[in-house]
Amino acid sequence: MDRAPPAPAVTAPSAARRAHYLDALGIDAYLSRSAPAAVASTATTPAPDDEWEALRAEVAGCTKCRLCETRTQTVFGVGDPHARWMVIGEAPGAEEDRRGEPFVGRAGQLLNSMLRAVGLARESVFIANILKCRPPGNRDPGPDEVASCLPYLVRQVALVEPTVILAVGRIAAQNLLGTDAPLARLRGTVHRFGEAGTPLVVTYHPAYLLRSPGEKRKAWDDLKLARSLADGGRAE
């Protein structure tokens, strides 16, 4: 029998904090530029495929921050451009920088298993990172690097129009939500991202789960929460 959908708590950063955050990133300007109301005529609206290609080319040639000096290549993102799930991590590591694809190292193997556990093939989701370039030595992204790069991700989210976003790890979660709250506080509730208010669930980074396998149970709870949202609120 169909049961009532779960009613997860929905949280959003305070309006003031979020406004400041988006303002600082120039994302408001981008969102209002791309809002349908601002489009004068369909004849001038780029087709989604063209937008993807334009965005891909912009990212490939990006020199907005110093990471362009040390990268092997940019790591744009991979997967189904119409995916219902978007998985967002932190930044490419050494292997990703070498291969030009996110989550292809050991953490990526675990991410693939986590996705399989909720019935998803890697190819059926879209996977991207907060940063498109590897920070040297895998250090944390700098605020200026995030500010330069996040607008690309916002454009990717607008093109994919996912049903749910899974933010993996503290850095992804904090930067997507414009908060310094610890990951433990961000898990277990449904947040909203961007103008479309896309539901966003936070979970542990697979690299952390490799070091702390005891936390996998909680990650499983997070995946089930995300799946319930992707499936339109279907209960377990």
Interface residue list for ligand URA (CB under 6 A):
89-93, 96, 102-103, 107, 129, 169
Q: Toward ligand URA, which CB reaches closer, 18 or 216?
A: 216
Question: Cβ 185 to ligand URA, closest distance in Å?
Answer: 20
Question: Cβ 35 to ligand URA, closest distance in Å?
Answer: 30
Q: Toward ligand URA, which CB reaches closer, 31 or 83?
A: 83
Is 192 in contact with 10 (CB distance < 8 Å)? yes
Q: In what order do the strands lie in the sheet with 190-193?
A: 10-11, 190-193, 198-203, 164-168, 85-89, 126-129, 78-79
- Measured from each CB, the residue nearest to ligand URA is 89
CA distance 37 to 59: 26
CA distance 115 to 87: 10
Question: Cβ 98 to ligand URA, closest distance in Å?
Answer: 12
Pick the closest to residue 129 from 177, 164, 93, 80 (CA basis). Answer: 93
Query: How would you classify the pairing of strands 164-168 and 198-203?
Result: parallel
Question: Cβ 39 to ligand URA, closest distance in Å?
Answer: 33
Q: Toward ligand URA, which CB reaches closer, 91 or 149?
A: 91
Q: Toward ligand URA, which CB reaches closer, 102 or 162?
A: 102
Q: Toward ligand URA, which CB reaches closer, 108 or 228?
A: 108
Q: Give the bridge partners for 236, in sequence order.
A: none
Question: Cβ 13 to ligand URA, closest distance in Å?
Answer: 22
Residue 56, token pair as written in the block? 């891909």
Is 135 in contact with 91 (CB distance < 8 Å)? yes
